Amino acid sequence: MSSCPYPDISHLDDFFTGCLMGDGWIDHSGSNPSFGVGSKEKEYVNYVDGMLGNVSTNIRVRDLDDGGGYGNGTFYVLTTRRHPHLDKFAGWYDSGEKVWPDSVDLTPTTLKHWFVGDGTFDNTNTAFRVSIACYNERKNVDKISSYFRDVSLPEPNYYHESENAFKVVWSADATRELFEYMGDPLPGFEYKWPDGY
């Protein structure tokens, strides 16, 4: 009896990294880990489903009632099959919580998926800025800054912390540079990009 080989998914590491920096997760309870991500944006989850191909198992729909901090409405959850390649991300959970590695290659793909998961674009009369939530890394601002330094992007201009939130925030000029670096918006998240992208 032969076993089917696992499809190569190493080309998706930047995607996995960006999602895991945001709302993505690794389920490492079985013999091989699986990956999951959720979003209110159905178009994005369908895009991810297509990108993962037969590694994706399904998209589940959940109705929210603000019990999980995601507000009300419909939430789409995608999970993958178990895959040995995902074991490289299981180490993020060695402490019992999700902790980002000391070094992350913050490619445009990685930053873009992190931003759509946990980021906000504030374009009002008084502000033009990007902020990204990262509460689990609130004690690691030097590590976060190093990700940006290592790819010659502007480091966050300031950090905003409240009782249950922590955000890294950039100035208007730095925000423009981040959008240039990320490029085109991901499906379903066009509203998080300034006009003209």
Domain assignments of the chain as residue spans, ordered by start: 10-93, 108-184
Question: Hey, what CATH topology would domain 108-184 get?
Answer: Endonuclease I-creI (3.10.28)
* pLDDT tens digit sequence for 17-71: 999 999 999 998 878 999 999 999 999 999 999 999 999 998 999 887 755 555 6
Confidence of residue 127 (pLDDT cuts 50, 70, 90): confident
pTM of the entire structure?
0.91
* pLDDT tens digit sequence for 181-195: 999 999 999 999 998
Confidence of residue 2 (pLDDT cuts 50, 70, 90): very low
Whole-number Å distance between alpha carbons of 106 and 17: 9
Could you confirm whether domain 10-93 is CATH 3.40.50.170?
no
* Paired strand residues for 38: 77
Check pLDDT > 60 for residue 92. yes
E strands of the chain, at which residues? 25-27, 34-39, 56-65, 72-80, 119-123, 128-133, 158-162, 165-169
Give me the count of residues in the chain: 197
The reply to whether 108-184 shares the fold of 10-93 is yes
